[in-house]
Amino acid sequence: MSEKVRVCLITRFSIVIDSKVHSWRRLRNPIDPRSWIAARNPSREEKVAYLFDPARMEQRFHRFETLLLPSLAAQTEAAEHIVLASELMPDPDRARLEALSKRHGFRLHFAGTKRKVERILTEDGLIDLDGCDRLATARIDDDDAVARGFVRQVRRHARMDLDDYLVSFPKGIYLDQRTVPNRYAPVIHPNASCGLTRIVRKRKKTLSIHGAGDHRHAHHSFPVLQVPSREMFLSTAHGDNISRRLFLRRLPGGKPLTAEAAAHLQKRFGVDPRGLNVTTT
């Protein structure tokens, strides 16, 4: 009998954590947001004011509703989707997120500020090995998307005779949404955060991908299976995510997103065309 694999896709939606050194662009360096400086940990008040700014929240919801959620709805195999949000979220945003949870079927969990994501997931019973032989947890941010066959590929590669290893899908597409039309470029990025998956089959101190440390250095601590495949992730760049600026430097400018290219993204990732700005020429 084949082993039962439980697949959990984990999304953080504007969660506030006191101890976390966040990398939000304007909070790192309000004077010159283009500068790459050593991370500082803003106060809780700064985080709340920045995260829940109405204009910012509207943009987060827009990408969540037009990129990530359609992408997961288009999966060829089902998986659990867990969305972590902050107890400090304003009531209107909370109500909107709750309505999306009912409509799309993801598990929504509001958490306080004292614990990091791994502890929230395990201590609040959101992930465990009960009723399954293996637990697969994947990180997918609220502004990204994965290919339609992502969950199927995770299950396929979750059955190695090995405990506690990572599965990376290095081929993807970077979508720069700072311009209209958007620009895009295919990339190969080993250990890319979007879709990076952890496979465990025995209970241990940490269980999820969020307990595996910095994705860029994951291979220092875990065996990592790099899966050769077609593009498996769609990762966006916009004014709210500073880390994206680094990978955009490596691109040769990308290409303007044409209607044909947008159609490919829709077919490959299941995204809503309302989330894409294409060229009219």
What is the average per-residue pLDDT within 122-138?
Answer: 95
What is the average per-residue pLDDT within 128-139?
Answer: 94
pLDDT at 37: 47
* pLDDT band at residue 218 under the 50/70/90 scheme: confident
What is the average per-residue pLDDT within 108-121?
Answer: 96
The Cα–Cα gap between 87 and 109 comes to 9
Q: Which of 183-187, 202-206, 240-244 has the lowest mean pLDDT?
A: 240-244
The Cα–Cα gap between 184 and 260 comes to 12
pLDDT at 1: 59
What is the average per-residue pLDDT within 52-81?
Answer: 96
pLDDT at 36 over 50: no
The Cα–Cα gap between 208 and 215 comes to 12
Question: For all residues of the chain together, what is the average pLDDT?
Answer: 87
Q: Are 138 and 197 in contact (CB under 8 A)?
A: yes
pLDDT at 184 over 70: yes
Helical H runs in 52-200? 54-63, 69-73, 91-104, 117-123, 150-156
Q: Quick one: 281 exposed, middle or buried, by C-beta within 10 A (0-12, 13-18, 19+)?
A: exposed
pLDDT tens profile 231-251:
999 999 887 765 544 555 555
pLDDT at 24: 54
Taking the model in full, what pTM does it have? Answer: 0.91
The Cα–Cα gap between 14 and 86 comes to 7
